[in-house]
């Protein structure tokens, strides 16, 4: 099973600032990595597919990069609605796995 | 509009069973693979099971293998998860998600407790 480790667990950022989230895989997942945003009481929302492709309707301030074992989600300028928990997911191997999440909170 | 609506959750005793359903609308359900994902209270996401569009390919997480069964009825635009031999650690919100992972239901809560 591929283990995904997200860091940091909590990121304290002020609105308008840049946020950088990390996801590291225990073995290569090529580019088969996705990022999700989840707000309290809601289902996850797909942000990024295949490491760097924004899903339909996702604002350009969200960007993904990386391949192999190291991936990054960047939010260029945090809006109030971006404070949430973010998860990465690998779809390279079965079983599919999620990272433990990064909570982005208001500083 | 794409919609996925889960149902069937509830309170069940350890060792009990439930059948979760996911009703799909607004897209060509029969052409999409589907997944179940769960989230224990206050915890992260855990993928549970996958079924291909024709039901020919099925996968399970090790934590549920042998106890859970995924199925679908393309004529009824519905996805199912039969959950048996439930344990306290199966307590979670269960989400269905489309194969493209863009569409998710609102989730149904399964609570396993005596």
Distance from CA of B41 to the nearest CA of A (A): 11
CB contact under 8 A, A100 and B105: no
pLDDT digits (tens, 9 = 90+) for A16-72: 999 999 999 999 999 999 999 999 999 999 999 999 999 999 999 999 999 999 999
The predicted pLDDT at position B99 comes to 80
Separation of alpha carbons B46 and A26, rounded Å = 17
Q: CA-nearest residue of chain B to A41?
A: B106
pLDDT digits (tens, 9 = 90+) for B40-95: 999 999 999 999 999 999 999 999 999 999 999 999 999 999 999 999 999 999 99
Residues of chain B found within 8 Å of residue A87, distances taken between Cβ atoms: 44-45
pLDDT digits (tens, 9 = 90+) for B4-27: 999 999 999 999 999 999 999 999
**Of B44, B50, B104, which has the smallest distance from its Cβ to A43's Cβ?**
B104
Residue with tokens 């989730």: B107
Average pLDDT of span B94-106: 95
Structural element, H or E, at residue A66: strand A62-67
Residues of chain A found within 8 Å of residue B104, distances taken between Cβ atoms: 43-45
Distance from CA of A29 to the nearest CA of B (A): 17
Residue A101 is classified by DSSP as: -
HSE-up (13 A, CA, CB side) for residue B42: 1
Residues of chain B found within 8 Å of residue A89, distances taken between Cβ atoms: 45, 47, 101
Residue A45 touches chain B, beta carbons under 8 Å: yes
Residue A104 CB-density burial (10 A; 0-12 exposed, 13-18 middle, 19+ buried): buried
Q: Is the peptide bond before A95 cis (omega within 30 degrees of 0)?
A: yes
CB contact under 8 A, B47 and A46: no
pLDDT digits (tens, 9 = 90+) for A13-27: 999 999 999 999 999
Positive or negative, the CA dihedral B39, B40, B41, B45 is negative
Total number of residues shown for chain B = 114
Separation of alpha carbons B75 and B65, rounded Å = 26
Strand-pair category, B92-98 with B34-39: antiparallel
pLDDT at A7 over 90: yes
Separation of alpha carbons A64 and A50, rounded Å = 9
The predicted pLDDT at position B16 comes to 98
Distance from CA of B93 to the nearest CA of A (A): 10
The predicted pLDDT at position B10 comes to 97
3-state SS class at B87: coil
């Amino acid at each position: 099973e591929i283990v995904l480790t997200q860091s940091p667990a909590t990121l304290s950022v002020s609105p308008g600032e840049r946020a950088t989230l990390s996801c590291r895989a225990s073995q290569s997942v090529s580019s088969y990595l996705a990022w999700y945003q989840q707000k309290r009481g809601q289902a996850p929302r797909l942000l990024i597919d295949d490491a760097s492709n924004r899903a339909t309707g996702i604002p350009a301030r969200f960007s993904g990069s990386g391949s192999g074992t190291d991936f990054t989600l960047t939010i260029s300028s945090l809006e109030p609605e971006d404070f949430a928990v973010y998860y990465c997911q690998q779809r390279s191997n079965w079983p599919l796995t999620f990272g433990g999440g990064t909570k982005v909170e208001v500083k | 509009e794409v919609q996925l609506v889960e149902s069937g959750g509830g309170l069940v005793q350890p060792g009990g069973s439930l059948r979760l359903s996911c009703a799909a609308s607004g897209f060509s359900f029969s052409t999409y693979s589907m997944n179940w994902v769960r989230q224990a209270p206050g915890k992260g996401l855990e993928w549970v099971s996958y079924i291909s569009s024709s039901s020919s390919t099925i996968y399970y997480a090790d934590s549920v293998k042998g106890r859970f069964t995924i199925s679908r009825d393309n004529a009824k635009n519905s996805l199912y998860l039969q959950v048996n031999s439930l344990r306290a650690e199966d307590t979670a919100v269960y989400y269905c998600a489309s194969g493209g992972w863009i569409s998710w239901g609102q989730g149904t809560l399964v609570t396993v407790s005596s």
